[in-house]
Amino acid sequence: MTIIKTYFLFFFSFFSFFIYSQSNQQVGVFEEDFRTSFKTKPKLDVKLDTRFSFIAASDIRTTGVKLGLSFNREFKMGLGYNRLISPSKSSIIKEDVKYKADLYYEYISPYLEYIYHNSKKWEFNISIQFGIGRGYYQYFNALTEAKEKVNQSFILSYEPSMLIDYKIVRWVGIGSGIGYRLVLYKNKNISEHLTSPVFIFKAKIYLGEIVRTITGKEIQAE
C-alpha cells in the first residue's frame, strides 16, 4: 500500500468516526446551531492558507486567500482563490519530441465550515470546499523561442478537511489541519494524479479587531 493510500485510509477512517460520533451525540446541537446561526448578522472573515499535497510523488504547495462571512462563529461560508506557489515539474511530448514542462494549477473554491467548538482562543471546525479551475502545461519551444501553454483541462475537485485555529493576539491567528483533495473531473490532457492528502497551515486576520484597536470604531468583521 502506498503512502498516499495510507493517508487516505487514516483520514477517512478518522473523519467517518467523527461524523458518526457527532451524529449520535450532537445531532441536536448541530441542528440548533444551524437554525439559529443564520438568523444573526454575519461578520466578514478573511484568511490566508498554504496547503501541502503531492503531485507525481513530489511535495507541492498551494497558496490561497479566502473571503467569506461568519455567522455567530458557528458557520462560515465564502469563496477562495488558490494556485500552486511554484509549478510542478513535468514533461510533455509534442510531435514526437519530449520537452521539459511546468504544470500549473489554479482554482476558485466555494467553501463551508462548521465550528463545533469555539472559545476565546480556539476554534475546531469541519470544512468542505469545491475546487473549480484549470490546469495546463507550459514549456519553452526552441523553434519559436517562446513559452507556450498546452493541454489545458478543466478540473473539478472536492476537499473535506478538519481544522484547528488558534488566536495568537487580537489581530492575528494561525491554524492547521488535514484534508484530502479528491479530483472529480479532469481530462486526459493532464497526466498527473492530482488526488492527494492535504496538510493545511493558515493565517487569519481579524479585521474587526484591527479597526477597533486603531480607530475605536466597530465594523462587521471578525
Q: Which residue matches cell numbers 440548533? A: 32
Instruction: List, for residues 30-78, the tens digit of each pLDDT value.
Output: 667 667 777 788 888 888 888 888 776 577 788 888 999 988 888 899 9
pTM of the model: 0.77
Query: Which residue(s) pair with 163 in the sheet?
Result: 125, 177
Instruction: List, for residues 97-119, the tens digit of each pLDDT value.
Output: 788 899 999 999 999 998 888 88
- Domains belonging to the chain, first-starting first, are 3-215 (2.40.160.20)
Q: Are 72 and 52 in contact (CB under 8 A)?
A: no
What does the pLDDT read at residue 61?
Answer: 84
Instruction: List, for residues 143-181, the tens digit of each pLDDT value.
Output: 777 888 999 999 999 999 988 999 898 888 888 888 889
What does the pLDDT read at residue 44?
Answer: 85
